[in-house]
């Protein structure tokens, strides 16, 4: 993994996405989060094709806080098996990286 990550999940409602964002940021597991939506998802679930409206949650964190953030999201999420994935932030302004480090020190 990269030193810095953008972690994503999706929820059925705006309120749940905001609540998850607040609890993760409040616990110092993520430096910040954005709620985007609604978005349309197209997917396979339990062997069936589906489409639905969801709210995307994007969280900024460090590699060392990822496992705790993932566990937090899985515990608090209303879905049984939500997507929780991370992509590397391979470049970013020095001030931004410093902010990520400071706010997720734990």
Q: pLDDT digit string (tens) for 52-87?
A: 999 999 999 999 999 999 999 999 999 999 999 999
Domain with residue 29: its CATH number is 3.30.70.120
pLDDT in the model for residue 2: 63
Distances (CA, A) of 89 to 13, 24, 27, 75, 83: 27, 19, 21, 25, 19
- Domain hosting 52: range is 4-103
pLDDT category of residue 106 using cuts at 50, 70 and 90:
confident
- What average pLDDT does this structure show over 79-98? 95
Residues 31 and 10: their CA atoms lie apart, in Å, by: 18
The number of distinct structural domains making up the chain is: 1
Residues 69 and 73: their CA atoms lie apart, in Å, by: 6
- pTM score, whole prediction: 0.94
């Amino acid at each position: 993994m990269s030193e810095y990550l953008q972690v994503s999940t999706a929820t059925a409602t705006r309120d749940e996405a905001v609540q998850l964002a607040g609890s993760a940021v409040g616990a110092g597991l993520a430096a910040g989060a954005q709620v985007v939506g609604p978005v349309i998802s197209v997917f396979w679930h339990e062997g069936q094709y589906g489409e639905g409206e969801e709210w995307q949650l994007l969280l900024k964190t460090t590699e060392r806080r990822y496992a705790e953030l993932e566990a937090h999201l899985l515990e608090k999420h209303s879905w049984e098996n939500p997507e929780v994935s991370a992509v590397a932030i391979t470049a970013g302004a020095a001030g931004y990286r410093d902010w990520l480090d400071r706010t997720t020190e734990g």
